[in-house]
Amino acid sequence: MGNASKVTVKLPPALATHAGAREVSVQGANVLAAIRDLDRVQPSLSDGICNELDAQRPHVLIFVDDTEIRFLKGLRTPLKGGETILIMPAVSGG
Amino acid sequence: MAKRVHLLVGTKRGLFIGTSDTKRKKWSFSAPCLGGLPVNIAVADTRNGTTLYAGVNSWHWGPCIQISKDMGKTWKLAKKQPRFPKDAKKPVESIWQIQPDVKGRKGSLYCGVAPAALFHSDDGGATWTELKGLTKHPTRSKWMPGFGGLCLHSILVDPRNEKHLLIAISAVGVFESFDRGASWELRNVGLHSVFNAKEKNSPSSCVHKIAFAGRRPDRIYQQNHVGFYRRDGAHADWKSVEKGLPSRFGFPLVAHPHDPETAYTIPLQSDGFRAPKDGKLAVYTTNNAGASWKPLRKGLPDDSFVGILRDAFATDGLETPGLYFGTTSGQVYASADAGKSWQKATDLLPQVLSVRAFVK
């Protein structure tokens, strides 16, 4: 993979069940690519975070080193390597 | 080993599996599978061992198909989910139906989603491909969603001819294919149009459920938003057969697995009041293909204002068929004598979205 950076993705229990681990090492030049790389571990796992139109699912939060990606460059946020991507279900409903 | 009857009860918070011997009087239910996620539909494919398929629509993690080969103990994601291409206007929003193909086509299954589209798998559900002939149907621009979305909720595969399929979409209508889903014809002649459309075959009928008559797949029963219908023959018009029902409104229907004259529906009071009329929960049956109907109420409550959703009614297909339905208030009712009498198989589940029964 060209310009790929190694990062760690921390998964919530609902997705970790399928990955077989809470933390997964992936590669990607940006957040979207790193999330799609989860599919190497378990095919279609990344679908739970981003839909097929490459949009972040509306009730999912993604942090890169403690900053939510809406305050960065969204799914196009570049990765230099060594970051931790945290996936969380948003607190939704009432 | 003696045969057992199994119920797959998909709910808003997980899948519950009920089991009984073939007397079907005592039921035991599993702890919820699938971590409390909403399970819109769950089916068993018994053509090659037993494989369970669940259509899960998570608020957080989106729609997916999960597959279990150990009766629900463990689940795996389908490797390639039913998904639209990247340039689609909308993503797949929810899984509505999963239907195994005819007996001889092991590993072949269909899946209906919202926004309305049909997918096919020929590898036991591992990967799914969109059948674009339906998505690109010339009437597509006129399709309008029902209250539950633009959902493809019913899939029938003709046991006599695997190339012959029917699907139903709310609030669009019934489509028929004779080439295994490559091309489709709209089949709404005779149905009520939600727009009062002038054309006879308008893509604007709110079909709620369709089913082949038992042992006579040229006959199809339909519960519509505004009536109960029957169609005899591939090119015949739909005929209203609702005289004797307490209301035209309802969602699910079950055809008797062996008697083509017999079908069952669960009428609700009205579109505006989706509960049994006067609280008297009742399954209605016809034994003359809809010419007349009678209630089957023995064992059902008089003070029940529950709803019954379109996929929450099923039969086990046994010689004296068992019938099962789940309610929006979490009860599952069971009948071991083709509806003559009912008992509560379980209670206090989350809202029941679907019920399927199988014998193994």
Question: What's the gap in Å between the CA of A1 and the closest CA on chain B?
Answer: 21
Give the pLDDT band (50/70/90) at residue B198: confident
| Residues with pLDDT less than 50, chain A | 1
Query: What is the pLDDT averaged over residues B293-309?
Result: 98
Can you read off the two tokens belonging to residue A81?
């390597």
pLDDT of residue B264: 98
Contact status of B202 with chain A (Cβ, < 8 Å):
no
Q: Name the nearest CA neighbour of B224 among B202, B247, B201.
A: B247
Contact B205, B222 (CB under 8 A): no
Q: How far apart are the C-alpha atoms of B40 and B42, rounded to whole Å?
A: 7
Residue B197 confidence (pLDDT): 80
Q: Is the distance from CB of B115 to CB of B137 less than 8 angstroms?
A: no
What residue of A is the nearest CA neighbor of B81?
A: A44
B79/A90 CB distance under 8 A: no
- Three-class DSSP category at B27: coil
SS3 content of chain B, % helix, strand, coil (to 5): 5, 40, 55
B34: contact with A, CB 8 A cutoff: no
Sign of dihedral through CA atoms B205, B206, B209, B214?
negative
The beta-carbon neighbor of A47 closest among B37, B59, B62 is: B62
Confidence band for B25, pLDDT divided at 50, 70 and 90? very high
CA-only gyration radius of chain A, Å: 12
Residue A2, pLDDT score: 52
- Mean pLDDT score, B318-346: 98
Tokens of B267: 């009428």
Would you state the pLDDT for residue A94?
A: 61
Question: Parallel, antiparallel, or unpaired: how do β-strands B283-286 and B28-29 relate?
Answer: unpaired
Asked if residue B352 has pLDDT above 90, the reply is: yes
Q: What is the mean pLDDT of residues B272-277?
A: 95
**3-state DSSP assignment of residue B69:** coil
When pLDDT is averaged across residues B175-185 and rounded to a whole number, the result is 98
Mean pLDDT of chain B: 97
Chain B residue with CA closest to A42: the answer is B79
State pLDDT tens for residues B48-69.
999 999 999 999 999 999 999 9
CB B62 to CB A48 under 8 A?
Answer: yes
* CA-to-CA dists, residue A57 to A64, B37, B117, angstroms: 16, 16, 20
B56 Cα to chain A: minimum distance (Å): 11
Tell whether the model's pLDDT for residue B194 goes beyond 90: no
Per CATH, domain A5-89 is 3.10.20.30: yes
Query: Two tokens at B169?
Result: 């979409």
Average pLDDT over every residue of B299-306: 97
Q: CA nearest A61 in B: which residue?
A: B60
> What's the order of all strands across the beta sheet hosting B39-45?
B39-45, B51-58, B62-68, B76-77
User: pLDDT value at position B35?
Assistant: 81
pLDDT of A3 reads: 65
A57: chain B residues, CB-CB within 8 Å: 60-62
pLDDT at B132 (0 to 100): 97
Written as six digits, the tokens of B133 are 């002939």
Report the pLDDT averaged over residues B234-251.
95
Domain ranges of chain A: 5-89
Would you put residue B286 in left (φ > 0), alpha (ψ -120 to 50) or beta? beta
The pair of structure tokens assigned to A54 is 């490459």
Report the distance separating Cα A77 and Cα A29, nearest Å. Answer: 9
pLDDT tens digits for B125-143?
999 999 999 999 999 999 9
Interface with chain B: mutation pick from A18, A35, A52, highest number of B CBs within 10 Å: A52
- Domains recognised in chain B with CATH numbers: 4-359 (2.130.10.10)
In degrees, to the nearest 5, what angle opens at C-alpha B266 toward C-alphas B268 and B230? Answer: 110
Given the structure tokens 């996929």, which residue do they identify? B311
Closest partner CB to B91 (pick from A42, A45, A52): A52
Residue A34, helix vs strand vs coil: helix
Element housing A31 (H / E): helix A31-36
What token pair was written down for B115?
A: 């926004």
Q: In chain A, what are the helix, strand and coil shares in percent, each to the nearest 5?
A: 30, 30, 40
The residue-averaged pLDDT of B261-269 equals 98
Given a cut of 80, is residue B344 above it in pLDDT? yes
Q: What would the two tokens of residue A68 be?
A: 């939510």
